[in-house]
Chain A
């Protein structure tokens, strides 16, 4: 039985994670170590409550009427949701085709994961950080080679309107000029939807 640890479930999000009424399910586990991570407790493999696709479905289906009426559903975040291939596949089998399933991902995952989940996902929110490899490495502790390859593949295989790319202003790591450069490069790649925002350091 496939299981995954979930660090948080947030119901009744209205258009924050995609269209309609959505429930955000945040998974434990992430390949990145972002300096200002909001959910850094997801790095501890012991944190979170263990779910099976069945138990998660049972817990989220209480909002099924809202999902169906508004074309909403579940947004998987984290942590890194694309590490949970088997779990999300099985969840889709449980919830059926009418729920919108969206992944909020860094895309810094093996291509096989993306390829396996792509057919059952309705949309993506991509947290790109910064397109400059040095800034990305400094902020996340990882390189972004795979991110760019995965994004390129996605843009070739999907309607770009279903992909929202988040481009943050990261204090002490990138400048406004870097953000502009990132967005220009992303536009050249075919990205149509952007969410440009500021990280707030607490």
Chain B
């Protein structure tokens, strides 16, 4: 993907996260421009101004604007996100390993409002960190890598139909599916104000500590 388009995609995801976390309705339309761009355009800029106005409005009404650090982890996930993940992600029950999770690469169809884990990305990290167990088989064989899992968020927020798109074996694929199956309901995706079923893909990173 051309650099500008990649930048655009990341900035768009940051806007989506800010909107979702602050309960702001944001209509994100898929960009139809074919050539490369600078990563932003008047339409993208207008969305940022809209978010600013909405956040100001909420602050005037005494609500807290949740922005700080919201999208840390979206960029260069392996360096930025993992360095800043909270201790709560580390599993107390296992000393030698950490299961690290990144949600930086979201794929799937584009809807106006993407589904969101209740409590935001931070809570998603915590949920995965608290539930994932490094499979013994993988640990003994020194297996590390990402398991790409696809699932659907139903109109009522239920997570279902999870399957492994690309796995690494040694019990990691089954473990990723098991934990996805434990997930509580999400906020559903929306199209023109109506809840819709959305396909979601998430990489789950299994990494042994050195």
Q: Point out residues on A near B: beta carbons under 8 Å.
A: 11-12, 14-15, 19-21, 62-66, 68-71, 98
With beta carbons under 8 angstroms apart, the residue of A12, A19, A64, A70 that contacts B40 is A12
The CA of A64 and the CA of B40, in the complex, are separated in Å by 15
**A98 and B68 contacting across the interface, CB-CB below 8 Å:** yes
Structural contact, B75 and A70, CB atoms closer than 8 A: yes
B79 at the interface (CB under 8 A from A): yes
| Nearest CB in chain B: distance from A61 CB, A | 10
Bound CA span A66–B67, Å: 9
What separation, in Å, do the CA atoms of A12 and B10 have in the docked complex?
A: 10
The CA-CA distance from A14 to B9 in the complex, in Å, is: 12
B45 interface residue (CB < 8 Å to A): yes
CB distance from A149 to the nearest CB of B (A): 30
Contact at B75–A65, with CB atoms within 8 Å? no
Q: Could you show 18 A-B contacts with beta carbons less than 8 Å apart? A: A11-B39, A15-B79, A20-B72, A20-B75, A20-B80, A65-B15, A65-B48, A65-B51, A65-B55, A68-B68, A68-B70, A69-B14, A69-B17, A69-B18, A69-B67, A69-B68, A70-B75, A98-B68
CA distance A69 to B67 in the complex (A): 5
Which B residues touch A11, using CB under 8 A?
Answer: 39-40
Please give 20 more A-B residue pairs, beta carbons under 8 A apart, in addition to A12-B38, A12-B39, A68-B68.
Answer: A11-B40, A12-B7, A14-B10, A19-B76, A19-B80, A21-B75, A62-B48, A63-B48, A65-B15, A65-B67, A66-B11, A68-B69, A69-B67, A69-B68, A69-B70, A69-B72, A70-B14, A71-B72, A71-B84, A98-B68
Smallest distance from the beta carbon of A171 to chain B beta carbons, Å? 26
A179 CB to nearest chain B CB (Å)? 22
Once A and B bind, how many residue pairs between them come within 8 Å at the CB atom? Answer: 64
Name the residue on B nearest A14 (C-beta).
Answer: B75
A15 in contact with B80 (CB, 8 Å): yes
Residues of B within 8 A of A68 (CB): 67-70
Whole-angstrom CA separation of A71 from B61 in the bound complex: 26
Bound: A98/B7 CA distance, A? 22
Contacts of A65 in B (CB 8 A): 14-15, 18, 48, 51-52, 55, 67
Which are the 3 A-B pairs with shortest beta-carbon distances?
A: A69-B71, A15-B76, A69-B70
**CB of B143 closer than 8 Å to a CB of A:** no
For A70, give its contact among B52, B71, B79 (CB under 8 Å).
Answer: B71
Contact across chains for B76 and A14 when beta carbons are under 8 A apart: yes
- B162 adjacent to chain A (CB < 8 Å): no
B45, A66: Cβ atoms closer than 8 Å: no
8 A Cβ contacts from B32-71 to A: 38-40, 45, 48, 51-52, 55, 67-71
Q: Kindly state whether residue B74 has any CB partner on chain A within 8 Å.
A: yes
Q: Which residues of A contact B7 (CB under 8 A)?
A: 12, 14
**Is A71 within 8 A of B11, CB to CB?**
no
